[in-house]
Amino acid sequence: MRLRTRLGVSAIYNKNIVMFSKYKKNSTFIKGNAMEVLLIDDHPMLNAGIVSILEQTGIFKVCAQAQSLKEAMNIIENSETLPSLVILDMLLGEDNGLDFLPMLENFCQNKKIPKPPVLICSVLGDSFKIQTALNSGAAGFLSKTGGKEELLKAIDAILSGKVYISDEVNIKLKKIPLFTRGFPNVKKM
């Protein structure tokens, strides 16, 4: 099955593996020959795995990594362009990763530039924190227990303008009454 994303990325789903075949270079979020990703997580081994998965696609390049909110905002504020995508952990040492969402929103509003989508990738998964993340502007929530295929599926969904919630997380959210009323676009992917 071939899907066309918001950024012009043509994705081919084949045996549950997402392969990105081309993209539109004149998009607001795309610089040069790759979609740039900012990875905000304080676990180097996990970061290395995510970098490897993304760069194997030939479409994504991890342009920067941060291990704290201060470091992440420093990267954002000193970059000429924003990344196409931000992957964010909810727990960054002593920092609450969710605090990054309003910081990024305020920065983008002040500069009058579009905010890149943020994918939360975390082991923390209580339903209140997940709902708070989505209410705060996250484009998706992915459990770190997911695999390569799910990471790429989540990225494709949020770059297509959809909200992505992994199956594991979706089960927890269904226990919250009226959850989907606030998110009419939330669907099981």
42 assigned to some structural domain: yes
pLDDT of residue 3: 33
- Residue 71: give its domain's CATH number: 3.40.50.2300
pLDDT of residue 132: 86
187 assigned to some structural domain: no
pLDDT of residue 138: 95
Instruction: Say how far apart CA 45 and CA 69 lie, in whole Å.
Output: 19
pLDDT of residue 49: 94
Measuring CA to CA, which residue among 65, 9, 18 is closest to residue 37? 65
Instruction: Report the phi/psi class of residue 2: left, alpha or beta, with left for phi > 0 and alpha for psi in -120 to 50.
Output: beta
pLDDT of residue 47: 93
189 assigned to some structural domain: no
Range of the domain at 32: 2-181
186 assigned to some structural domain: no
188 assigned to some structural domain: no
Low-confidence ranges of the chain (pLDDT < 70): 1-33, 124-125, 175-189
51 assigned to some structural domain: yes
pLDDT of residue 68: 94
Number of domains observed in the structure of the chain: 1
pLDDT of residue 43: 92
**Confidence (pTM):** 0.77
Instruction: Say how far apart CA 95 and CA 109 lie, in whole Å.
Output: 23
7 assigned to some structural domain: yes
pLDDT of residue 177: 60
User: Judging by DSSP bridges, how do beta strands 34-40 and 60-66 pair with one another?
Assistant: parallel
